[in-house]
Amino acid sequence: MSADSADTDAQQRKRTRIKLAAWWEANARDLPWRFGRTSPWGVLVSEVMSQQTQMSRVVPYWTDWMARWPDAQALADAPKADVITAWGRLGYPRRVLRLQECARVVTEQYHDELPHTYEELIGLPGIGDYTASAVLSFAFGERIAVIDTNIRRVLSRVFLGVESLGGAASPAERALANRVLPEQGAVGESVTWNQSVMELGAVVCTAKSPLCEACPVADDCMFLKLGRPGLGQRRTRPRQRFQGTDRQVRGLVLASLRELPAGASLPRKDAEKLWDDQVQLASCIASLDDDGLIEITADDMLRLPQG
């Protein structure tokens, strides 16, 4: 890169940072775990809940959850059936068992305080690169690149002019995220940067229909300049439809167990009325049992885990 183009590159980054910081200031959604209103544990819970569920849907669940179990210790001590029930329709319920395991480790090994290093965070059950980075940035204010699907899409479009193709983050995408991350103390510093880029990807620079006409960084977006080549193109297969999937069947079984009075069980013959395909149903019941989300008693009754 010549000195001139490096200079232009730095200026583009600075302009983008300033515009995004101003946009964030005026437009950030008022989510209850933002703006320093919750503990680091509350931030972690919001990130786990939001992994495969839209943030707006997460809000009522997160609010009730934190009122009931405000810290890791409270969640660690909660009956498993209660946490599975409270997870409600957030989906992908294995996440809740991992979150409770995480709470137990935080309680026992870290005296109910989330650890502050990336290595310690990523060693917790259910915590991957994204969540560890998000907690370090959003809860502890550390300078670290947070890399999720929205951030990858926005950075790739704005700075490279191409679509991010999904799948695992490539080394080039990680390098880009680190290269454009503002220094601590710079205008639009790293925490605001991470949050604002992610928010832009969630509400403006969406995968299929980006609202370029309302975008604060449109003047500097290479993707827009190039005519949005391959808009919406992805490497991964389209998302599987929910209807008829094992996810749907597992969800039906769990929902019927959640509706029972505490400690009650469902006879298997009643569960068999939930779904026509008995082979699929039996396999889903077995997989819920394997995952530890339900128990099958000796007299073939189904129930949420006791204890």
Catalytic residue positions, numbered: 47
For ligand SF4, the closer CB: 109 or 233: 233
Q: Does 204 bind ligand SF4 (CB under 6 A)?
A: yes
User: Which range, of 90-98, 152-160, 175-183, 276-284, touches ligand SF4 by CB under 6 A?
Assistant: 152-160
Q: Does 210 bind ligand SF4 (CB under 6 A)?
A: yes
Q: Does 223 bind ligand SF4 (CB under 6 A)?
A: yes
Classify the phi-psi angles of 181: left when phi > 0, otherwise alpha if psi is within -120 to 50, otherwise beta.
Answer: beta
Give DSSP secondary structure letters for 253-275: HHHHHHTSPTT--EEHHHHGGG-
Query: Min. distance of Cβ 215 from ligand SF4 in angstroms?
Result: 3
- What stretch of H or E contains 80? helix 80-87
* Three-state secondary structure call for residue 281: helix
> 114, 224, 253, 294: which one contacts ligand SF4 (CB under 6 A)?
224
Contact 295, 302 (CB under 8 A): yes
Query: Min. distance of Cβ 178 from ligand SF4 in angstroms?
Result: 19
User: Which range, of 96-104, 159-167, 215-223, 288-296, touches ligand SF4 by CB under 6 A?
Assistant: 215-223
Contact 49, 62 (CB under 8 A): yes
Q: How many angstroms separate the CA atoms of 25 and 227, rounded? A: 29
Contact 248, 281 (CB under 8 A): no
Q: Does 24 bind ligand SF4 (CB under 6 A)?
A: no
> 45, 48, 158, 254: which one contacts ligand SF4 (CB under 6 A)?
158
Q: What single DSSP character describes residue 304?
A: P
User: Which range, of 36-44, 103-111, 179-187, 209-217, touches ligand SF4 by CB under 6 A?
Assistant: 209-217
